[in-house]
Structure 1
Amino acid sequence: MARKAKIAVFISGGGTNMAALLYASRAPDAPFEIVLVASNNPQAGGLELARLEGVETFVHSHKGHSREAQDIAMEAAASGAGAEYIVLAGYMRILSEDFVRRWEGRILNIHPSLLPKYKGLDTHARAIGAGDSHGGVSVHVVTAELDAGEVLAQTRVAIAEGDTPDTLAARVLLAEHQLYPRAVAEYVSRGNDPDFLYAKVRDLALALPETHEKDSHGSPGFRVGTEKSGKFFAHFSDQHHGVEHIAVLVKTSSMDELLNLVETQPEVYFKPAYYGASGWVGVILNRSGVDWDHVAEWLERSWRACAPSRLTKLLDAADQF
């Protein structure tokens, strides 16, 4: 059975979106599990449901506490439960910038409008007042700017003649319950999706000067230099030669360095069956907590080892600015 991503859900009220996520997580093929339901409101109705279903709960009232103090308490509970992601489901508190930065890329929210339209509150009244034909719902990544992160999925909901904010909200809520579990499942699965991982590597590799893509032994590779005489500085490996890893292969300085990396950090590195004898190391991508800045550093280092000096000098000059 594939490993499931561990999620903490933050709520402030009835928790119907939390319930939709919880019951979706019980499907045999669900890629996530809910390890905690936490709230700033001791009276939040969703807490009772979570307890009934055997999910750990946590409550820390925000009254009398600063935003930072509230976030520290909620974060400690999420981390203590082993959560890898935080999913906001009607959590009516704005998170502090420090909190969001520490969990960058790992907090999701659902918002009742078709973002970027109608950030903030009163979204249904604003959509009706503007004469829009549709309202809707968006799932997005949480950033420091309110409702401004990457939109992952949306569902449009038609606005009927005579709709009020309440009648429209009731239909949008139905759409929320369908959309949120699917969007969360897709997002937490990206770390095991070869197409997603390849696209990330490709963007980083081709951002380096005078690089191009070329297959090598049936796998995507990246070269620096001309089409005719360029040298490979990276290869993308999707579980080739019987290994379980999806990885980017890059050049080390020596066999000693390769073996030391594999021995000391086997959760991050491995010796590729085909390329390892030439000093290439595999940086494992299908694992939790991949640091893409670290991957970018490896790609640049490997590029430098293969690029002609005229290019490395140009990059060194650019780095001075």
Structure 2
Amino acid sequence: MPEAGPDPAKVAVFVSGKGTNMAALLYASRLPGAAYEIVLVAANDPEAEALTLASAEGIETFALSHKGMPRADHDAAMEQAAKQAGAQYIVLAGYMRILTEGFVKRWEGRMLNIHPSLLPKYPGLDTHARAIEAGDSHAGTTVHLVTEELDAGEPLGQARVAIWPGDTPDKLASRVRVAEHQLYPRVLSDYVSRGSDPEWLLERVRELALALPQTHERESHGSAGFRVGTVKSGKYFAYFSDQHHGTPHISLLVKCSSMDELEGLVEAQPQAYHKPAYYGASGWIGVILNRPGVDWDNVADWLQRSWRVVAPKSATKLLDAADAF
């Protein structure tokens, strides 16, 4: 039998109106092998049509009018509903509310939005009219991470839509909406799946490892490895392992202080650590990366700790000076 894939990510969708993007996300989530499932549709308008559609499709709903409520209180209620539904991500789909700073910070990296322009062009409102008036050849749509600054988060994907001669904002908007319905499910799927993507995981490890002084990358037995010291005589302090020797893990191999520590961590936290083939016998531990909730600060700590074991004093002095500063 084929191995089961990772569990779908749990997503709450916030809406304010018809919910056509929510519907596109919902129906895409029901295709075979989908990377996410919608566990809640929440609205700031109890009359929003999106709630009717979600209920008909068996999705849990939550509705609370924002009228007369302090913004922070309304955000807290929406957030609580998402948490109770088990959401790991929040997706805004025509949600016409500006969220409070605290809410956005708590969901940093786990909240997405879609905007009807090719950001950074035309943040805010009237995007189609502005694109036409500017004489642009194309308009489009952007899926981006939500940050405190409106429509300024990292773009995750875009779709371009040609502007026709004599176009009107309404006609252009209708075509851009079709593009939105194709783009949003694709980008959301890719984003929530990145934790099992070896290329994405290696890039994160590479960024953290190469930030350490006198560090360079060199392949070892087909795997990316990271060394400290000169290119000629440097010593390895980390390896990136992509399901080698039959293991299901994508992991970072780093040096442990002792075999007792290695065995203790593997026994106590088998979801986070494993004893790698060959390397394990020499005191290297595998920090499992293809799992939910990886703490990248902890990964950075492991890299620095392993680096210090083999780094020359000239390199450790540089790091200590930087830390002191």
Find the aligned partners of 2:215 and 2:33 in 1 and give their Cα distance: 39
Q: Which residue of 1 aligns with 2:13?
A: 9
1:252 partnered with 2:260: no
Alignment of 1:265-276 (within 5 A): 265-276=269-280
> Equivalent residue for 2:197?
193
Does 1:43 pair with 2:70? no
Residue type of the alignment partner of 2:273: Y
Query: CA offsets per residue over residues 22-55 of structure 1, 9 Å max, x none?
Result: 0001110211111111111101101101010011
Q: How does 1:81-160 map to 2 (within 5 A)?
A: 81-160=85-164
- SS of the residue corresponding to residue 232 of structure 1 reads strand
Deviation string 1:222-278 (CA, Å, 9 cap, x unpaired) is 110112221111010111122111111111211122122222222211111221122
Q: Secondary structure at the match of 1:241?
A: helix
Distance 1:284 1:206 in 2: 20
CA–CA distance in 2 between the matches of 1:282 and 1:106?
Answer: 26
* C-alpha deviation, 1:304, in angstroms: 1.1
Select which of 215, 218, 227 maps to 1:214: 218
Map Cα deviations across residues 100-123 of structure 1 (whole Å, 9 max, x no partner). Answer: 111111111100000000111111
Unaligned runs of 5+ in 1: none
- Counterpart secondary structure, 1:145: coil
Structure 2 unmatched ranges of 5 or more: none
Worse overlay, 252-261 or 20-29? 252-261
The share of aligned pairs that are identical, in percent, is 71
Distance 2:246 2:45 in 1: 50
SS in 2 for 1:302: helix
Q: Which amino acid aligns with 2:196?
A: N
Out of 267, 289, 309, the residue aligned to residue 285 of structure 1 is 289
SS in 2 for 1:163: coil
Q: 1:176 and 2:180 equivalent? A: yes
Whole-angstrom CA distance in 2 between matches of 1:261 and 1:99: 34
CA RMSD of aligned residues (A): 1.1
Task: Please point out which of 1, 25, 31 is paired with 1:27.
Answer: 31
Deviation at 1:71, TM superposition (A): 1.4
Matched, 1:295 2:299: yes
1:113-139 alpha-carbon deviations (Å, 9 max, x no partner): 000001111111111121211111000
Give per-residue Cα distances to partners, 1:148-193, cap 9 Å, x unaligned: 1111111111112222211111111011011111111111111110
Instruction: Give the TM-score normalised by structure 1.
Output: 0.97
Which one is further off, 273-282 or 173-182? Answer: 273-282
- Output the amino acid matched with 2:203: A
Q: Secondary structure at the match of 2:45?
A: coil
Instruction: Report SS of the residue matched to 1:281.
Output: strand
Amino acid at match of 2:314: R
SS at 1:189 equivalent: helix
Q: CA deviation at 1:5?
A: 1.0
Aligned to 1:67: 71
Number of paired residues?
A: 321
1:166 to 153, 164, 170: 170
Runs (4+) of structure 1 moved beyond 6 Å? none
